[in-house]
Structure 1
């Protein structure tokens, strides 16, 4: 049996080529990830808003697989309209699910992970353009986080994030002045980053939080799992 403990449903933007592979690598024994794709062709905030309108139909497909929790696996899609818009997104997803089914969004998972680790001062790495970068900084600051440093790959098109070299995010993050930082956050579920986490933590002495790592962390906690997943940072090693 593939899902002795729980089956997790993933709502994934259609152009994302990274998130599923990260989840398959990170999931502990007894947990299964089932994904469905919601159409996203890029286009910044407007394109993300169109994608978000499809979450109910995507969730209705996951329901047929008997999922025990649902993750909305898109950082920018969950922060573009701020915390209030994110709550509406969660409500749209929840409308298709049994009442007690946990629903997790990536942006909220990052915030929750940082607060769980008593972190407030962060450096942020993204692949986004200026419009989404500004919205993400606003989102984190509205959650009480202080974005001290910022760097972007400025990939131009959303699909290009998934085509980045594994070291792209690592090379940006390692250059930060770390004197007043509590952690480094690497944003975007379509940006290869999980292999950089341990390297960065050892090199910088700071916790490193990535979109897929944090989302899995919160999904597992919501499902009552406790344990340790070494090799992918302090969050999964020491905080489950």
Structure 2
């Protein structure tokens, strides 16, 4: 049995995780999830720094250990990349020390997933306000990934993002795509995407990486598990 633990901020699209557990079709893989206290629900730099504070993350690790987690991932993009590359590394180091387990975050998951697909040029389609979306683009650029365009939707709260359905997600991806982009990235674990990955990639004709998808992939990577699940996109196809 392989158990990957996730620390998820608040309540928005956490139901993507049991959905993906079923889509993996691997009966020996479990994806236990613990909610963290988000403080203020706002895609605003000061609120995101508070949301990703070490003590908030550390508060949930004991429950994940009791669930048998072999690795833990901070299932949040914005409250990791907002610290910058080195700050996000320190956040992950502190989380690993608190959990006594290998650890990562959604921001680093995006970098690893882009490299897994051997992509070098990407487009970003974000739910965030423009300043926060640009911070994500900067995080990717610092990792050597060329960001061709960054589209920001200006949504302030995770609660609003969590209400988006299939049509809104498809519209976001299409609006953010660029013909020369090798992959399109949708950062925000508050966005429901697990059920739409096949439709997204069919509509764009290229790999689409979404926050909850890459977070699960990163957890499996930390646990040294490979699971083929084509319904979860090209990232899981090989």
The two structures have a TM-score, normalised by structure 2, of 0.89
Give the alignment partner of residue 20 of structure 1, picking from 17, 22, 45.
17
Residues 226, 24 of structure 1: alpha-carbon distance in 2 compared, 3 angstrom cutoff? closer
**How far is the alpha carbon of 1:203 from its aligned partner?**
2.9
Residue equivalent to 2:104: 104
Asked if 2 retains the 8 angstrom alpha-carbon contact of 1:56 and 1:95, the reply is no
Asked if 2 retains the 8 angstrom alpha-carbon contact of 1:111 and 1:140, the reply is yes
- SS where residue 31 of structure 2 aligns? strand
In the alignment, does 2:73 pair up with 1:71?
A: yes
- SS where residue 8 of structure 1 aligns? strand
For the residues of structure 1 that align with 2:80 and 2:116, how far apart are their CA atoms?
Answer: 20
Residue equivalent to 1:9: 5
For the residues of structure 1 that align with 2:165 and 2:227, how far apart are their CA atoms?
Answer: 31
For the residues of structure 2 that align with 1:195 and 1:20, how far apart are their CA atoms?
Answer: 11
- SS where residue 125 of structure 1 aligns? strand
Which one scores higher on RCO, CA 8 angstroms, separation ≥ 6? 2
**How far is the alpha carbon of 1:48 from its aligned partner?**
1.8
Residues 228, 42 of structure 1: alpha-carbon distance in 2 compared, 3 angstrom cutoff? same
Asked if 2 retains the 8 angstrom alpha-carbon contact of 1:122 and 1:182, the reply is yes
**How far is the alpha carbon of 1:13 from its aligned partner?**
0.3
1:197-230, Cα deviation, whole Å (9 max, x unpaired): 2223223221111111111112112222224102
Asked if 1 retains the 8 angstrom alpha-carbon contact of 2:130 and 2:153, the reply is no
1:86-145, Cα deviation, whole Å (9 max, x unpaired): 1111122112233xx221210101111101211111111111112211211111111111
For the residues of structure 2 that align with 1:176 and 1:50, how far apart are their CA atoms?
Answer: 29
Residue equivalent to 2:41: 42
Q: Give 5+ residue unaligned stretches, structure 1.
A: none
Residues 184, 63 of structure 1: alpha-carbon distance in 2 compared, 3 angstrom cutoff? same
Asked if 1 retains the 8 angstrom alpha-carbon contact of 2:124 and 2:177, the reply is no
The two structures have a TM-score, normalised by structure 1, of 0.89
For the residues of structure 2 that align with 1:120 and 1:226, how far apart are their CA atoms?
Answer: 23
In the alignment, does 2:94 pair up with 1:92?
A: yes
How many residues align? The count is 232
- SS where residue 225 of structure 1 aligns? coil
Residues 145, 187 of structure 1: alpha-carbon distance in 2 compared, 3 angstrom cutoff? same
More deviation in 36-45 or 206-215? Answer: 36-45
